[in-house]
C-alpha cells in the first residue's frame, strides 16, 4: 500500500501535489486504488505504454511535422502568438492565446477544437515547449 501522508513527509511535497502525482501514475497504469481498503497500491498493467501513442494519430502527425522542421514562429502581438506550420502543400497559421488555440486547417475548421487540438496546434505547442 502507498500512504500519501508518509510520502508527503518523505518528499516534502504538499498533499495536493501527492494526490496529483498518484492520479497521474494511476492514469499510466502504475498505481491503483483499492476501494475496499481505501488505499493506493503499486501496479503495472500488462501493456507497453509506448503503444498508447500509436493510438493518437494527431500526436504522430505533430511529431512528423516537428521532425521535418515544418514549424516556425510568426508574429507576437500582445498575448497572441502566431506560429506557422507547413502542411500538405500549404502553410497553416496557428494562433495561440490565453483563451485557446486556433488553426486554419480543415480539421480544426470542421471540429472547432471540440475533438481536441489538430496536429498543427500540437506541433506548435510542442515546438514552443522545446520538444523539437
Q: What is the pLDDT along the chain (132 residues), one digit of tens a residue?
A: 898 889 899 999 888 888 888 887 887 778 888 889 888 898 877 667 667 667 788 888 999 999 999 999 999 999 999 999 998 889 999 999 988 899 999 999 999 878 888 999 999 999 998 866
**93, 63: one domain:** yes
Distance CA(80)–CA(67), nearest Å, equals 25
Residue 52, pLDDT score: 66
pLDDT of residue 129: 86
Determine the structural domain holding residue 77 and report its residue range. Answer: 54-128
3-state secondary structure of 85: strand
Do 121 and 58 belong together in one domain?
A: yes
In terms of domains, do 31 and 88 share one? no
pTM over 0.75: no
Give me the number of domains the chain comprises. 2
Asked if residue 122 and residue 61 are part of one domain, the reply reads: yes
Mark whether 41 and 61 lie in a shared domain.
Answer: no
Same domain, 67 and 41: no
d(CA 50, CA 40): 24
Q: Does one domain contain both 70 and 14?
A: no
Give residue 47's pLDDT. Answer: 66
User: H/E element holding 77?
Assistant: strand 71-77
Residue 132: predicted pLDDT: 61
- Indicate if 42 and 60 belong to the same structural domain: no
Claim to verify: residue 124 and residue 84 sit in the same structural domain: yes
Indicate if 28 and 83 belong to the same structural domain. Answer: no
Q: In terms of domains, do 84 and 115 share one?
A: yes
Amino acid at each position: 500500500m502507498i500512504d500519501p501522508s508518509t510520502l508527503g513527509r518523505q518528499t516534502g511535497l504538499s498533499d495536493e501535489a501527492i494526490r496529483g502525482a498518484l492520479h497521474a501514475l494511476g492514469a499510466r497504469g502504475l498505481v491503483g486504488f483499492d476501494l475496499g481498503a481505501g488505499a493506493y497500491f503499486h501496479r503495472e498493467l500488462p501493456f507497453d505504454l509506448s503503444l498508447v501513442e500509436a493510438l493518437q494519430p494527431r500526436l504522430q502527425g505533430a511529431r512528423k511535422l516537428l521532425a521535418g522542421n515544418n514549424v516556425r514562429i510568426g508574429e507576437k502581438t500582445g498575448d497572441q502568438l502566431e506560429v506557422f506550420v507547413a502542411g500538405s502543400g500549404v502553410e497553416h497559421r496557428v494562433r495561440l492565446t490565453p483563451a485557446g488555440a486556433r488553426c486554419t486547417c480543415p480539421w480544426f475548421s470542421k471540429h472547432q477544437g471540440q475533438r481536441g487540438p489538430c496536429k498543427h496546434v500540437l506541433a506548435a505547442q510542442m515546438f514552443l515547449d522545446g520538444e523539437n
